[in-house]
Structures are given as structure tokens and as C-alpha cells.
Structure 1
């Protein structure tokens, strides 16, 4: 019998060491999910995965209970990332999919992605000259509203969204509300004294009518909570107080509505192209 070819023999240095985990490329999607679920960003639903892939997220594992339906959605709504989604999506039984997420999404799609580095996001927020404002949510309370604001900010091409206070802007409910568009803008939490440089235009009922103002590209657009408004610390940091037009006896706008109106005003009258 011929002797084995040394060139084809396995390299002892590359052989797995007994007791060590199997490399992820050889693990099934559920195993990979459980290994990463504690630190990765949950992308809940087809649209969150679509946007994350479109804006360069590193997706570690993606599952669906109906791969054919998910790819049909991609053909219809996201042909630009269809091939990437086809390479990522693994089909699992519906019961398995449902066990991996807090509550099943109608599209039966979920994925885990690597969160962008804080250092990279802070660098983007601090970079000057800035070509689009930074949205600041001062002590926000509602996770869904925060997600809706991030979705708006991404749609308008804002430089980023910064929250103050205890709300985590990368909470799964916020990411779900943002439809995966956290990966299209810089999202971080900072104390007021560490906000990026730039003039602060803070929304307040006693401020100047926004319709008489031009919002510069390097502005920080600050919004207080719907219940208590701006904090004293943020108000002291503000360079300008700005008011949205509002009918008398109406208490306030929804936070996301206020952000949308302000970003639209910037896009229509400011330096934005």
C-alpha cells in the first residue's frame, strides 16, 4: 500500500483541541444564535435585517421560519440586497424561530448583528465640518418613540442621534422601532457635558418660531421628553430655544412628530441639499 502523501495529511497545529468549541462556520444557526445573543444587536423582522444589510452591518446569523416568503419579500422590496439575504438566511421551524425572539414578527425573520463600535460612532459625531445635524433626545422615556426618531434621522440623513439619561438607544425595542436603521446613522448615549460641538437649537414652547429661523448643518437639535420637556442641564447648554407652530390649548406634539417637523424645516430651509 502506498504511503500517505505528507502534503495531504492534516496539519496537527490546525486540528481542534479536545474540549474547545467547534468553529462557528461549522455550527448550526441556532447554536450560533445562542453563542451571540447576549452581546449582539437583535434585528427583529425582515425590514430590520434588510436595512442593516443595506447599510453595512456585520450580520452574524439570520433565521426565518419561511425562507421562500422572506426571499419573495426581498425580490419585491429589496432586490439590491436579495443575494446577500439569500446567503444569510437559514430556515428553522417556526417554534424554534419563536423561541429565539421576545415576540414573533409577522415576517418570521430575525438576525443578530455586531453593534458598531462606540469609538467609531463618537468619531462620526465629532467630525467637523458637519454636513447634517445631530438629533439629541434629552432624557427620553419611550423606547418606541426613540426608535421612530432614529428611523426619521436616518431618512433625513442626520449625522446621528444622541440620547441623554438612562434609556439605552440600542435596546431591542428601540432597534425594532428604528427598523434596523441604527446602522444608517451614528447612535450613542452621552451626558450633556459630552455632547458633540455645535450650536444647540433646543425645542421649547417659549422659544422663537422655527419658521423665522434657518437651522445650520452643524446644529444639535435637542428635544425634551413629552412629559417634562428639556432638563435644566440641557436648557443651560442651549444656544437657541425654538418653538414649533401649535394651536393654542394643544399640549404638545408626539416626540417623533416634533423631530420630523424640525428635520423637514432644516432640509427645506437650511444648508441641506
Structure 2
């Protein structure tokens, strides 16, 4: 690309910011279309790829353009230690919805009901990708493709379906919601087509989602401990699903 900075500014309003080497690496691995990528030190970035991600090194070699540090810093709100950034094409909403609605499913859909913390949402998407979940859905106002969420997800939005929906639009399947008043999750086998819902960090499950829930579940917790972090709760629940025989073949 002859003028990466011009291309960047042309695509900035619609592109997904991949902030740092690892976000770009993951996005490329899972099929993201990346029109522009820049680095302050191209040779160092390619050396890092050769060490940590040789599967994408050649793609990076063809894609990456070196820019001055001042130019790089003008493109990102928070410069990443690797001094690498890229813009990717966001998957179509229609394609995301098709993935979420596909039946039969061999892995759960994770629902974050009205989440508030962008970093937590990113961490959940990273977890979902690692466990092979079908997707992550948010309800409420938080945009799951916000740059801070993508940074927290390390580019793994492209490894699972990620979309924002209304509660009434949630995918089909038995809906299990995590709540302190629910039955112990350790006694329940979660089916592969489960929809696993988690309330917001402050107020828990919304009344609308609670009304749609088929079964309330709780995580084991020592008395007098108030709660787990949202991402920790998702990790524990997905691990329980995986350990009870639900893990898909990778």
C-alpha cells in the first residue's frame, strides 16, 4: 500500500482497530480482512512474528508498512508496547446472526446482560474464543466492538461470533442464567446448545432476561465473599461445560 496513513484515515470510521501485535496476529489467524497495518519497527515486528506466530509471518510481511513513531501515535489513543496497529473489516451483522442462529449448535452462546465494563467484555470474548463458544452476545448499550473491548479480547472477536441484541432476539436454546439464588452449577450438565447468561457487574440480571430464563444456576463461593469478576464467572461456567464432556473438537 503506497500511502497507509491516507488509507487509515479513510477507513478509520468503519474499521475495527487492532491495537498491538497480538490483536493483529489473532485477527489474521481467524480470517479477518485487514486493509492496512502499520508498525514503528517493521523488522522487529516480523522478527516477533517469526518467533511467536510463524503461521502469519508471510501475511504480515506483505501487509505491514513502517511509519514514524509520531505518525503511529497519531493513529491510536493508547499506544501499545509493540507499536503495531491495524484496521480490519468488521464482520457483517447478517453473518454474525446466521452463526448465532445456526442449529444444532455444538457449543454454548454466552450472553452478557447489560454489561458496563469494556475490559470485562473483552476478556469474556477472549475466553469464549478459547473455549470454542459459538459466540458472545451483549444486551444494553455497550458496543462489543468498541476499541477497548477489541483490545481486551486480543483480536479474538474474529474467532467467535460477537453481536449486540435485544433480549427478545437471543438465539434459541435452553437459557441458563447465573444468579446467587440458583442451584449449584456443579450438579447440572450444561447442554451444547445452552445459552449462558450473566448479569451486569453492578445490578445482576435484568428483569426481562430473568423472565426468559429456563434455569438459574450459581457458582460455588465461600460464605461472605460477595461475587466473582464477570470474566471469572464466565470462565468457571465454560470450564464446567467443557469438563463435563461438552468441549468441541478443535
Is the TM-score greater than 0.5?
yes
Question: Which residue pairs with 2:91 in the alignment?
Answer: 116
Question: Which residue pairs with 1:96 in the alignment?
Answer: 71
Question: Which residue pairs with 1:185 in the alignment?
Answer: 160
Runs of 4+ in structure 1 deviating by more than 6 angstroms, as ranges, are none
1:16-71 deviations in whole A, cap 9, x for unaligned? xxxxxxxxx5x400010011001100000000000000000000100000111111
Q: Please state whether the residue corresponding to 2:142 is helix, strand or coil.
A: coil
Question: Which residue pairs with 2:137 in the alignment?
Answer: 162
For residues 272 and 176 of structure 1, what CA distance do their matches in structure 2 show? 26
TM-score between the two structures when normalised by the length of structure 1:
0.90
Deviation at 1:254, TM superposition (A): 0.2
Matched, 1:150 2:132: no
Question: Which residue pairs with 2:29 in the alignment?
Answer: 54
2:52 to 74, 77, 90: 77
**1:34-45 matches, cutoff 5 A:** 34-45=9-20
Specify every segment of 5 or more residues in structure 1 that has no aligned partner in the other structure, as ranges. 1-24
Matched, 1:174 2:157: no
Q: Do 1:136 and 1:161's aligned partners in 2 also have CA atoms closer than 8 Å?
A: yes
For residues 104 and 78 of structure 1, what CA distance do their matches in structure 2 show? 21
**1:1-20 matches, cutoff 5 A:** none
1:148-178 deviations in whole A, cap 9, x for unaligned? 0000000000000000000000000000000
Where relative contact order (Cα < 8 A, 6+ residues apart) is larger, the structure is 2
Question: Which residue pairs with 1:220 in the alignment?
Answer: 195
Q: Do 2:37 and 2:63's aligned partners in 1 also have CA atoms closer than 8 Å?
A: yes
2:170 to 187, 195, 198: 195
Q: Do 2:131 and 2:247's aligned partners in 1 also have CA atoms closer than 8 Å?
A: no
Q: Tell which structure's C-alpha radius of gyration is larger.
A: 1
Deviation at 1:227, TM superposition (A): 1.2
For residues 232 and 96 of structure 1, what CA distance do their matches in structure 2 show? 48
Deviation at 1:271, TM superposition (A): 2.9
Deviation at 1:222, TM superposition (A): 0.2
